[in-house]
A and B are shown apart, each in its own frame.
Chain A
Amino acid sequence: NAGVTQTPKFQVLKTGQSMTLQCAQDMNHEYMSWYRQDPGMGLRLIHYSVGAGITDQGEVPNGYNVSRSTTEDFPLRLLSAAPSQTSVYFCASSLYYVSSGEQFFGPGTRLTVL
């Protein structure tokens, strides 16, 4: 199993550009989520999904879109990048409830918006 994979590993954008961060998992997990990690703020939930076709907002959803067309993939779209979106982004997956088992994190995407 590859676990949770994320691409790209690094990305530099200009203000106003759009892009999609890719996330895939091969563990047949129903629950997938996106976090951003900023210094001194821990990880904050952006969006999450409890299954194909079902998504919901997390703590900091503004400026981001998600969709879940398959169990395996959960892409995160930045509609119009802003410098405030400079961060490290982590995708994670787990069974339906986090407490049912481990939530596995991907290696992260480091995004810089100029």
Chain B
Amino acid sequence: QQQVKQSPQSLIVQKGGISIINCAYENTAFDYFPWYQQFPGKGPALLIAIRPDVSEKKEGRFTISFNKSAKQFSLHIMDSQPGDSATYFCAASQDGTSGSRLTFGEGTQLTVNP
């Protein structure tokens, strides 16, 4: 059972456009929502993250929008560039007495055409 569902599976955007990737979660105990970027042949790398007490977080061209009541969050990439072409994963975690466990979405393969 996938606790974090991500869409779309793939996305093609023109250079300069806006890329939007959506995620929905089920577990209301999740308290940390990171996005990871992965290039072919590499491990994922943290891109940006948000906590549920904030509705939006922006870092450069990357913005997370968070809707706690709907249990949804999304990644917006403004002015998308060919170098942004990668696979993006949303994730969610909950801190507990045994550390924290990340649950990932299925991933979105983003292609930005020049």
Contact = CB atoms under 8 A, between A and B. Distances in A.
A48 B99 contact: yes
Contacts of A105: 43-45
B104 A43 contact: yes
Interface stretch (A12-20, A74-82, A91-99): A91-99
Interface residues of A, number: 28
A77 B96 CA distance: 26
Contact of B31 (A41, A99, A107): A99
A53 interface: no
Contacts of B31: 99
Contacts of A59: 103
A99 B33 CA distance: 9
B42 A103 contact: no
A89 B66 CA distance: 30
Contacts of B18: none
B46 A48 contact: no
A21 to B, nearest CB: 14
Interface string B35-60: 00000011111100101000000000
Interface of A: 4, 30-31, 33, 35, 40-45, 48, 50, 56, 58-59, 90, 92, 96-99, 102-103, 105-108
5 contacts: A31-B99, A42-B106, A98-B100, A103-B34, A107-B41
